[in-house]
Chain A
Amino acid sequence: NAGVTQTPKFQVLKTGQSMTLQCAQDMNHNSMYWYRQDPGMGLRLIYYSASEGTTDKGEVPNGYNVSRLNKREFSLRLESAAPSQTSVYFCASSWGDRSAYEQYFGPGTRLTVT
């Protein structure tokens, strides 16, 4: 099993450009998450999807949109990238949305906005 996969691994954007980060999991998990990680800030939740067909805002949703395409795939879109969105983005999945269920993380996408 591949677990959680993310594409691309690296990306450089100019201010104002748009892009979509892709995430897929092959563990038949119900819940999926998007986090960003910045130095000294830990991971902050952007959006999550508790189950197929539902999405909810996390701690820092502004400037992002998400789509739960099906049970396997959860994408994150930046409509108009800003330098403040330079970060490492992690996708995660779990059986459910409670602590009883371990979150499995992907390897991350390193995004730089110039």
Chain B
Amino acid sequence: EAEVAQSPRYKITEKSQAVAFWCDPISGHATLYWYRQILGQGPELLVQFQDESVVDDSQLPKDRFSAERLKGVDSTLKIQPAELGDSAMYLCASRWGALDTQYFGPGTRLTVL
């Protein structure tokens, strides 16, 4: 069964360093989401792509976060510089269309020291 792939699964970094996460959605899924989930809370949308275009990045802290999906397939989320408060699980999800459910990747657990 097709799955959303994410890497790395775990990342430990020091504050002020740069980190990058990668997501490969299920083939054919046009919509891709990046979420941040702080322990004990529900996921918070950071950015939504439709193909290669950003649909919603209103909650993305643009001074330090950036996301791209250049060819409309896989996507990269970058944080530079990382701060202590960025420690969280970063989840990627994709869906084929508006009537489809979201499929989540396993997530990247980020710890900033």
- Does B bind A? no
* Chain B residues at the A interface, C-beta cutoff of 8 Å: none
